[in-house]
Amino acid sequence: MGTAPTSAASSPAPSSPAASSPTARTLADLDTPFAVVDVHRTRRNIERLRARAERLGVALRPHVKTAKSPDAAALLHDCAPGPVTVSTLAEAEAFADAGHRDITYAVGIEPRKLPRVIALLRRGVTLRVLLDSTEQAMFVASAARAAGVTVPAQIEIDCDGHRGGLRPDAPGLTGIGRALDDAGCLDGVLTHAGESYFCHTTEEQRAAARNERDAAVAAAERLRAAGLTVATVSVGSTPTAHAADDLTGVTELRAGNYVFFDLVMAGLGVCDLDDLALSVVVTVIGHRPEYGWIVTDGGWMAMSRDRGTAAQAQDQGYGLVADLSGALIPNLVMTAASQEHGTLTARNGADLPELPIGTRLRVLPNHACATAAQHHGYHIIDGARGPAAVPRVQAYWPRVSGW
Amino acid sequence: MGTAPTSAASSPAPSSPAASSPTARTLADLDTPFAVVDVHRTRRNIERLRARAERLGVALRPHVKTAKSPDAAALLHDCAPGPVTVSTLAEAEAFADAGHRDITYAVGIEPRKLPRVIALLRRGVTLRVLLDSTEQAMFVASAARAAGVTVPAQIEIDCDGHRGGLRPDAPGLTGIGRALDDAGCLDGVLTHAGESYFCHTTEEQRAAARNERDAAVAAAERLRAAGLTVATVSVGSTPTAHAADDLTGVTELRAGNYVFFDLVMAGLGVCDLDDLALSVVVTVIGHRPEYGWIVTDGGWMAMSRDRGTAAQAQDQGYGLVADLSGALIPNLVMTAASQEHGTLTARNGADLPELPIGTRLRVLPNHACATAAQHHGYHIIDGARGPAAVPRVQAYWPRVSGW
């Protein structure tokens, strides 16, 4: 097998049999397609935001929904389990198994999921839930009372019309706060500047960060003015986390994508292309010179159908193409995908490079969260060991999947 | 866990612990999101194409890349393993484990994958490989001779400029045929009318089917005229398989998507909406009346990023929405997706229906192959048992994944 099995709640494993076997020592030794992570770039990306949060005087609660890997999460907080955000209860359970005790489940809660929330709380995990309606506050309060536990709950605030949440001035806000507080469950407020993914300049991203902070702090102040205690004021998205210049009133910062970054983030100027830690190794399986195509064995099953850069000034197709060492091949782009076929074409009038059948390439994805989700785990290389034509595989990190 | 673990080469299991446990007897008893298959519709779709192939006088070799489920494949050939097409070697290995002995791997072969091909041949599986270059023919012939086995190989023919293959009149065709024949490896020709997914009328689809047949037969005749034996003449795509009126000269028909069908196929008129066998169960987690949104816990992680209907006359967003019984809710469409959030909106000026938090819905996908791939397996219901407000779960079918 090219990749190792995964499970809905896999426990962390430092390396897979595939990666540690004598026949799988380099990126040339595994069957394509497969996902690769450069741990050197990952560490550098993590350190960059860690230092930012420290300068801004806020705690960092990374979102682990991108890598979904306890091994990657072990790098987030100086090799000790620290606060994390998750997007599924399967993640919450897997990260609890890996020793994490402070977890925010940042998707609106529904009644059917509360038994699993309460089971985690009983295991000693501080699992915070999110909600934006009186209806949810009532059933969370009711379930907490029935179980005899505190379910720490955050009220989702809508700062930019992106998705869920209440506007900071919504009439219902303080009523929800009071319903939670009556059951001892009010933890705070949380917002996410999802529209910052469409802010194409640093100044726009900085404005989005100010707006995100202002919305969260205004909501917290309204609740406090109503006599309620608000411990957590949580903000974040990868673009705003890297643009914020003042987080006064905020207690914690969230971001997820930054651990790997991707072409969408590079297109927004949040990172450089050489910060991209995730790529997919593919092999050339054909040529159609009459159409100007090189065909690979990496299609949308390996890359995902995400075309996030289609909305940016420079559409990067399904991804930019590098050689196996990671060096970008100028003007070569993956422009089409079937399930297990990728089509590479040259742009800007460039000639197609000579890449014989069997040539291995690395494709940098539009959206790391979506591409990573197509794989059971990551084969780890370490760019800090210096450039290598065929990088060695250091470890295998399995991913959590399912719900 | 809402879903069961999967593995790169899972063996078939009739049902999972989740589905057979006393707490998971209906679609209301599992944590959302999860994938559901109506086995009644699947059987009906399978029977429809089986009867067509019989009328046309060709063998049927279904592509199992959509369901990737040995349980689903067991329905294809009267409950006995029959010929199948696969898109990965992981599928080939899993289907061999499930008893299949006649498998075509329909993605161009590259040298690194030949040891797994040869291992399957040595297990008694007739595994056919695909190629479209002299380079590939040479290394297949060479590996076959070195291993002392026959590697049955098909030459990929390009009938419509969709992807890989040689045009039927390509100068290199007979040379490749001869190189394979010299090693005893020439099995036949294969083509796929991938452009038929963009044929929006039955007449266009019928023309695409004729063109597909003509290309494959012309290539076979050229090889035969050169003194070579061509056993297999394989054609197929879901639209052309359902439109073909004459397959003279063709020996086998392939199609994959038809087992589940999807909104893209319904948009092409290849099936009706009530033929769609795959859906994703989601739960309402919020309301944004100011924007006209209902928010669910099914985002692109559950649906995939596939937006295949965006290219059709009626864009269906990320999917049409039904209630838990499967009855479509008029004018309700999933129009946006984050990783774990879906946004439902009303179209054609319709009012948003009253769907309280906790309401379960079923979303019909754009592209079954892509949506199914986001899940570890399928919870099986049986529409033949009559309409049910909350259908019972009959079984769990795990999926094969990885490469």
Residues of B in contact with A307 (CB under 8 A): 305
pLDDT of residue B24: 57
Q: Which of A3, A107, A306 is opposite residue B8, by nearest beta carbon?
A: A3
Burial (Cβ within 10 Å: 0-12, 13-18, ≥19) of residue A292: middle
- Lowest mean pLDDT: which of A30-44, A138-152, A268-282, B376-390? B376-390
Do the Cβ atoms of A374 and B373 come within 8 Å?
A: yes
Comparing CB atoms, the residue among B135, B307, B341 nearest residue A356 is: B135
Interface contact B340, partner A, CB < 8 A: yes
Top pLDDT among A269 and A9 is at A269
A133/B286 touch (CB, cutoff 8 Å), yes or no: yes
Q: Flag whether pLDDT at A23 surpasses 60.
A: no
Look at B23 and A222; give whichever has higher pLDDT: A222
Interface test with B, best of A1, A36, A190 (most B CBs within 10 A): A1
C-beta of residue A15 within 8 angstroms of C-beta of residue A395: yes
CB–CB of A297 and B107 under 8 A? yes
Please compute the mean of the pLDDT values over residues B7-22 and round it to a whole number: 40
B36, B85, B107: best to mutate for the A interface, most A CBs within 10 A = B107
CB contact under 8 A, A65 and B340: yes
Percent of chain A residues past pLDDT 70, beyond the cut: 94
For residues A345 and A320, the answer to whether their CB atoms sit within 8 Å is no
- The average confidence (pLDDT) of chain B is 93
CATH architecture of A17-39+265-398: Beta Barrel (2.40)
* Cβ contacts of B290 within 8 Å, gap of 6 or more: none
d(CA A97, CA A142): 27
Q: Is A116 on the interface with B (CB under 8 A)?
A: yes
Closest chain B residue to A400, measured at CA = B5
The average pLDDT across B223-249 equals 97
Instruction: Dump pLDDT digits (tens) for A254-276.
Output: 999 999 999 999 999 999 999 99
Q: Has residue A162 got a pLDDT over 50?
A: yes
- Determine whether the interchain pair B285/A111 forms a contact, defined as Cβ–Cβ distance below 8 Å: no
Contact A376 B8 (CB under 8 A): yes
Whether residues B341 and A107 touch (CB distance < 8 A) is answered with yes
pLDDT band at B186 (very low <50, low <70, confident <90, very high): very high
Q: Please indicate whether, in this complex, the C-beta atoms of A32 and B403 are within 8 angstroms of each other.
A: yes
Query: Looking at residue B20, what is its pLDDT?
Result: 43
pLDDT band for position A342 (cuts 50, 70, 90) = very high
Instruction: For B358, name the nearest residue in chain A, comparing CA atoms only.
Output: A110
Residues in chain B: 403
Superfamily for the B40-260 domain = Alanine racemase (3.20.20.10)
Return the closest-CA partner of residue B71 out of B103, B48, B98. Answer: B98
**Domain extent listing, chain B:** 17-38+265-398, 40-260
Q: Which of residues 192-221 of B touch A (CB under 8 A)?
A: 194
Amino acid at B237: S
Residue A171 to residue A174: CA distance in whole angstroms? 7
Q: Which residue of B has its CA nearest to A65?
A: B339
Q: What is the CATH number of domain B17-38+265-398?
A: 2.40.37.20
Query: Which among A291, A340, A373 has CB closest to B161?
Result: A291
Q: What is the mean pLDDT of residues B372-392?
A: 94
pLDDT tens per residue across span B262-306: 999 999 999 999 999 999 999 999 999 999 999 999 999 999 999
Question: Rounded to whole angstroms, how far apart are CA atoms A204 and A196?
Answer: 8
**pLDDT-derived band at A386, boundaries 50, 70, 90:** confident
For residue A39, give the amino acid letter. V
pLDDT tens digits for range A50-103: 999 999 999 999 999 999 999 999 999 988 899 999 999 999 999 999 999 999
Query: Which tens digits make up the pLDDT trace of A210-258?
Result: 999 999 999 999 999 999 999 999 999 999 999 999 999 999 999 999 9
- Token digits for B388? 């049910």
Query: How many CB contacts within 8 angstroms connect chain A with chain B?
Result: 182
Residue A108 is nearest to which of B7, B116, B295, comparing CB atoms? B295
Closest CA to A363 of A306, A290, A286: A306
* Closest-CA distance of chain A to residue B194, Å: 9
Query: B357 and A6 in contact by Cβ < 8 A?
Result: no
User: Does A388 score more than 50 pLDDT?
Assistant: yes
Phi/psi at A102 (nearest 5 deg)?
A: -140, 95
**Closest CA in chain A for residue B166:** A288
Listed in sequence order, the residues at least 6 apart from A78 whose beta carbon sits closer than 8 Å to its beta carbon are none
- Looking at this protein, which amino acid is placed at residue B401? S
- SS3 letters across chain B: CCCCCEECCCCCCCCCHHHHCCCCCECCCCCCCEEEEEHHHHHHHHHHHHHHHHHHCCEECCECCCCCCHHHHCCCCCCCCCCEEECCHHHHHHHHHCCCCEEEEEEECCHHHHHHHHHHHHCCCEEEEEECCHHHHHHHHHHHHHHCCCCCEEEEECCCCCCCCECCCCCCHHHHHHHHHHCCCEEEEEECCHHHHHCCCHHHHHHHHHHHHHHHHHHHHHHHHCCCCCCEEEECCHHHHHHCCCCCCCCEECCCHHHCCCHHHHHCCCCCHHHCCEEEEEEEEEEECCCCEEEECCCHHHHCCCCHHHHCCCCCCCEEEEECCCCEEEEEEEEEECCCCEEEEECCCCCCCCCCCCCEEEEECCCHHHHHCCCCEEEEECHHHCCCCCCECCEEEECECCC
**Residue from B339, B374, B379, B400 to probe the interface with A (highest A Cβ count within 10 Å):** B339
Q: What value does the mean pLDDT of chain A take?
A: 94
Residues 65-84 of chain A whose Cβ lies under 8 A from any Cβ of chain B = 65
B132-160 pLDDT tens trace: 999 999 999 999 999 999 999 999 999 99
Nearest chain B Cα distance for residue A164, angstroms: 7
- For residue A303, the chain B residue with the least C-alpha distance is B305
